[in-house]
Amino acid sequence: MTGEENGRAFRLAYVPGVTPAKWAGIWAERLPDVPLTLITTPVAEAIPLLRDTGADAAFVRLPVDREQLSVIPLYVETTVVMVPKDHEMAAVEEVSVPDLAGYDVLHPLDDTLEWTARPGEPAFTRPATTAEAVELVASGAGLLLVPQSLARLHHRRDLTYRPVTDAPQSQVALAWLTEATTDLVEDFIGIVRGRTANSSRGRTPTPPAKKPAQRKTSGRAVPSNRGKKGHRPR
């Protein structure tokens, strides 16, 4: 009987830029009878998906509303600026926020970076998605700051990107509903944290069975005369 037939399956959501293939591969090795379904979700919809029980766990971008959630921060991404390949910034290895002051910087509605003061000049329009903003960068309408994984996701031959040394950064985390912390969720947490297959994976280990108590004896052996011929009790 397969995992789907006996009701055991695991649904993992992930936001754009996150690549879950490594963890999914380990899952397939350790739990071959439990299907893992990958669900791509926009950043803004990842937490609602968890709250609606549409996924068992999700890779999200912090910060998120943590009410009723358990969250494990994982890694922080480098922020980069996407520019046309013939742009003057393509000639340098890295830039800083002040370097962007004289440029139109796009601000998509699904921006994943938290700015206290947004750099550059505000773009004339706000694209709905990062994908649309990338198209505008290619047309020469402005520059775009994103986590490096999103720059790779939206790779184009006519664009390049450079690290921004002092920009806010995006942190990826694993999140799930605290009240829905199942054994399968614990299994996946163990995989993400790099635990071995033989570890407890965060579960409460079963205490070992107690051995029956052995009667203590003195260290000196006492010979027995029972069964010996010719022995008479005194």
What is the mean predicted confidence (pLDDT) over 92-98?
96
pLDDT value of residue 215? 54
Of the candidate ranges 80-84, 145-149, 153-157, 213-217, the one whose mean pLDDT is the lowest: 213-217
DSSP helix/strand/coil, 160: strand
Per the listing, tokens 């999103």 go with: 150
The CA distance from 117 to 74, in Å, is: 26
**Are 17 and 55 in the same domain?**
yes
**Are 63 and 178 in the same domain?**
yes
Q: List the structure tokens of 129.
A: 């998605």
Domain count for the chain: 2
- CB atoms < 10 A from the CB of 21, how many? 8
Find, among 140, 109, 133, the residue nearest to 42 by Cα. Answer: 109
pLDDT value of residue 148? 97
β partners of residue 10 = 36
What are the residues whose beta carbons fall under 8 Å from the beta carbon of 83, sequence distance 6 or more?
89, 90, 137, 143, 159, 160, 161, 162
Q: List the structure tokens of 188.
A: 């996946």
Judge whether 215 lies within some domain.
Answer: no
CATH value at residue 179: 3.40.190.10
**Are 70 and 121 in the same domain?**
no
Residue 53 falls in which region: left (phi positive, over 0), alpha (psi -120 to 50) or beta: left
Q: How many residues are recorded in the chain?
A: 234
pLDDT value of residue 1? 44
Judge whether 20 lies within some domain.
Answer: yes
**Are 84 and 162 in the same domain?**
yes
**Are 98 and 67 in the same domain?**
no
Find, among 138, 127, 157, the residue nearest to 83 by Cα. Answer: 138
Q: 13 pLDDT exceeds 60?
A: yes
**Are 84 and 154 in the same domain?**
yes
β partners of residue 105 = 122, 143
Judge whether 4 lies within some domain.
Answer: no
Judge whether 111 lies within some domain.
Answer: yes
- Interval 105-131: pLDDT, tens: 999 999 999 998 889 988 878 999 999
Q: Are 119 and 107 in contact (CB under 8 A)?
A: no
**Are 60 and 93 in the same domain?**
no
The model carries a pTM of: 0.79
DSSP helix/strand/coil, 13: strand
Q: Last residue of some domain: 125, 152, 168? A: 168
- Interval 19-78: pLDDT, tens: 999 999 999 999 999 999 999 999 999 999 999 999 999 999 999 999 999 999 999 999
Per the listing, tokens 């890295």 go with: 94
**Are 91 and 154 in the same domain?**
yes
**Are 43 and 154 in the same domain?**
no
**Are 111 and 33 in the same domain?**
no
Judge whether 37 lies within some domain.
Answer: yes
**Are 16 and 31 in the same domain?**
yes
**Are 113 and 98 in the same domain?**
yes
Judge whether 229 lies within some domain.
Answer: no
* Helix intervals (H) in the chain: 21-30, 43-51, 130-138, 148-153, 183-192
Judge whether 24 lies within some domain.
Answer: yes
Judge whether 210 lies within some domain.
Answer: no
Give me the domain span that covers residue 137.
79-168
pLDDT value of residue 206? 43
Of the pLDDT bands very low, low, confident and very high (cuts 50, 70, 90), residue 220 is low
- Interval 163-200: pLDDT, tens: 999 999 999 999 999 999 999 999 999 999 998 877 64
